[in-house]
């Protein structure tokens, strides 16, 4: 087997794919140089430039009706190719061209927006999440049109610039665009596989709730010598409140949190036990000294199939150099939850607020403010497109994919499935150690080239499903 996949296409396409590798890498690198950080207002023009770059590339690849759709936020990019044989299915490819902020910048070994190849990896913000993975599918269309003639299926591309901020514009846009976006199946490459040689189809993603906890004490900051010991310190109260969000078995202690959670069936637990991922891999990938989590569940179950509550950040009082003897007037925390099927994402914030207010001492006031929520996504496994997806992975990697559930969230996924009435194939080719959202994000290049092949193979397999 060739490092980048079996030779499985006709010789003309194989030659094209071999010769195109350098330009594919150069073009992706050019796109990665545009710092399309969706959450930072100072990058608004860059985000727009990244959309423009993509639209041009999609046209050059042979996609038609390419549009940069303006929104209240960042633009959506659309393009299609609709000339497949009669009755051929339509594949909708979804992805995002926005990226996460780069901080802490000093921990990057090469600048985040100067794509750098080291060994077999391309380092840059967005290399894996999600510019590299989305670009592969544009390259797949381009290769087929250039070297093999008409596509076997119709394709539509829907690429947004707000995934990392919860997809507000696309959520508003989708309901009115269901005819334009009508398709038989949606392909999303925005997840990872288990290892360079082990593909993985994701059939469930967790939902998310994110918000802020505020604890208020005195009406302003106080001298800790004059008032310390007589006024409850909001930082201390916050810590004590946050510490009560979990019990000693690692479960979320908020009443009602587990009420709607679907119990894992024995069948699913047996299936998830087949995923070759456990404590050894977890500790190796994360560098954590020991695993942690809800008692009674395996690592795969804890990550993909059980809900969680995380404290993402805490602040209050003085955190500069040196010291300041102060009692802050307020203390804050960013908290988020990962949700599993049937948990009502809008109800989580009020649940947490009610719990915290119930246990808060009379010395402080606590409130919870919701910033984002989206339900979990479940993909039907028993559809013919899923079998086509498995065949496509197998043909390129030479190995059957494993099926698993992932812990991350793609908030728009459920909206796509429900408003268009189609299943999503989560066929990523990132790796667990790609450093998503972290310093030194990378894309493993052999998998990038395999990803292009998987895109081609999927188009071919979909007509024989």
Q: Is 98 a catalytic residue?
A: yes
Q: Is 400 a catalytic residue?
A: no
Pattern 101-140, Mn ion, x by CB under 5 A? ----------------------------xx----------
Q: Which does 214 bind (CB under 5 to 8 A by kind): Mn ion, ligand BES, none?
A: none
**Contacts to ligand BES from residues 177-196, by CB under 6 A:** 190-192
Please give the DSSP secondary-structure letter assigned to residue 341.
T
Q: Quick one: CA dihedral 348, 354, 358, 362, positive or negative?
A: positive
Total of residues contacting ligand BES (CB under 6 A): 17
**Which residues have C-beta within 8 Å of that of residue 67, sequence separation ≥ 6?**
55, 77, 78, 79
d(CA 164, CA 452): 24
Name the maximum alpha-carbon separation found in the chain.
82
* Residue 69 beta carbon to ligand BES: minimum distance, rounded to whole angstroms: 20
Bridge-based pairing of strands 76-81 and 154-160 is antiparallel
* Residue 406 beta carbon to ligand BES: minimum distance, rounded to whole angstroms: 4
Pattern 131-170, ligand BES, x by CB under 6 A? --------------------------------xx-x----
Give 169: exposed, middle or buried? Use CB within 10 Å, 0-12, 13-18, 19+: buried
Q: Quick one: CA dihedral 442, 447, 451, 456, positive or negative?
A: positive
Cis peptide before 403 (omega within 30 of 0): no
Q: Which does 406 bind (CB under 5 to 8 A by kind): Mn ion, ligand BES, none?
A: ligand BES
Give 51: exposed, middle or buried? Use CB within 10 Å, 0-12, 13-18, 19+: buried
**From 46, 129, 353, 441, residue interacting with ligand BES (rule: CB under 6 A):** 129
Residues shown for the chain: 465
Nearest residue (CB) to Mn ion, 4 versus 409 = 409
Token pair for 242: 């946050």
**Contacts to Mn ion from residues 184-213, by CB under 5 A:** 190
Please give the DSSP secondary-structure letter assigned to residue 37.
B
Asked if 443 contacts 128 with a C-beta cutoff of 8 angstroms, the reply is yes
**Residue 409 binds ligand BES (CB under 6 A):** yes
Catalytic-labelled residue, pool 27, 80, 130, 163 = 163
d(CA 309, CA 337): 4
Q: Which does 409 bind (CB under 5 to 8 A by kind): Mn ion, ligand BES, none?
A: ligand BES
**Residue 385 binds Mn ion (CB under 5 A):** no
Range in contact with ligand BES (rule: CB under 6 A) among 230-238, 377-385, 394-402, 404-412: 404-412
**Residue 406 binds Mn ion (CB under 5 A):** no
Q: Distances in Å between the alpha carbon of 400 and those of 89, 389, 393, 431?
A: 24, 10, 7, 17
Nearest residue (CB) to ligand BES, 170 versus 237 = 170
**Residue 434 binds ligand BES (CB under 6 A):** no
**Contacts to ligand BES from residues 19-78, by CB under 6 A:** none
Q: Which residues belong to the active site?
A: 98, 163
Which residue ranges make up the site for ligand BES (CB under 6 A)?
A: 129-130, 163-164, 166, 190-192, 205, 208, 372, 406, 408-411, 436
């Amino acid at each position: 087997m060739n490092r980048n996949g079996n030779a499985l296409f006709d010789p003309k396409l194989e030659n094209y794919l071999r010769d195109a590798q350098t330009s594919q890498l150069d073009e992706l690198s050019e796109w990665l140089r545009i710092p399309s950080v969706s959450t930072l207002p100072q990058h608004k023009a860059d985000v727009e430039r990244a959309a423009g770059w993509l639209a041009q590339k999609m046209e050059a690849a042979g996609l038609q009706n390419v549009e940069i759709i303006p929104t209240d936020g960042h633009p959506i990019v659309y393009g299609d190719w609709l000339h497949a044989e009669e009755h051929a299915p339509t594949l909708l490819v979804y992805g995002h061209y926005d990226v996460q902020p780069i901080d802490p910048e000093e921990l990057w070994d090469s600048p985040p927006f100067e794509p750098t190849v080291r060994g077999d990896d391309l380092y840059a913000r967005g290399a894996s999440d999600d510019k590299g993975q989305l670009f592969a599918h544009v390259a797949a269309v381009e290769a087929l049109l250039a070297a093999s003639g008409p596509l076997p299926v119709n394709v539509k591309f829907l690429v947004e610039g707000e995934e990392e901020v919860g997809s507000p514009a696309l959520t508003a846009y989708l309901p009115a665009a269901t005819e334009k976006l009508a398709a038989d199946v949606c392909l999303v490459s925005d997840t990872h596989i288990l290892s360079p040689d082990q593909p993985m189809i994701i059939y469930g993603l967790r939902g998310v709730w994110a918000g802020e906890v505020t604890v208020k004490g005195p009406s302003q900051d106080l001298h800790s010598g004059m008032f310390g010991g007589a006024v409850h310190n909001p930082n201390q109260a916050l810590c004590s409140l946050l510490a009560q969000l979990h019990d000693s078995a690692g479960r979320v202690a908020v009443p009602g949190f587990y009420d709607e959670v679907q119990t894992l069936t024995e069948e699913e637990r047996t299936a998830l036990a087949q995923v070759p991922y456990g404590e050894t891999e977890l500790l190796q990938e994360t560098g954590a000294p020991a695993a942690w989590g809800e008692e009674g569940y395996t690592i795969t179950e804890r990550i993909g199939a059980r809900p969680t509550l995380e404290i993402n950040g805490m602040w209050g009082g003085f955190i500069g150099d040196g010291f300041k003897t102060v009692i802050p007037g307020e203390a804050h925390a960013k908290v988020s939850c990962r949700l599993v099927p049937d948990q009502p994402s809008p109800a989580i914030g009020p649940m947490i607020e009610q719990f915290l207010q119930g246990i808060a001492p009379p010395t402080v006031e606590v409130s919870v403010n919701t910033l984002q929520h989206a339900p979990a996504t479940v993909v039907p496994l028993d559809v013919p497109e899923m079998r086509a997806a498995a065949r496509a992975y197998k043909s390129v990697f030479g190995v059957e994919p494993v099926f698993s559930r992932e812990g991350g969230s793609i908030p728009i996924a459920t909206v796509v499935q429900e408003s268009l009435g189609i299943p999503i194939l989560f066929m990523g080719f990132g790796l667990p150690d790609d450093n998503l959202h972290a310093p030194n994000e990378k894309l493993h290049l052999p998998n990038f080239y395999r990803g292009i092949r998987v895109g081609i193979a999927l188009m071919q397999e979909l007509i024989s499903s």
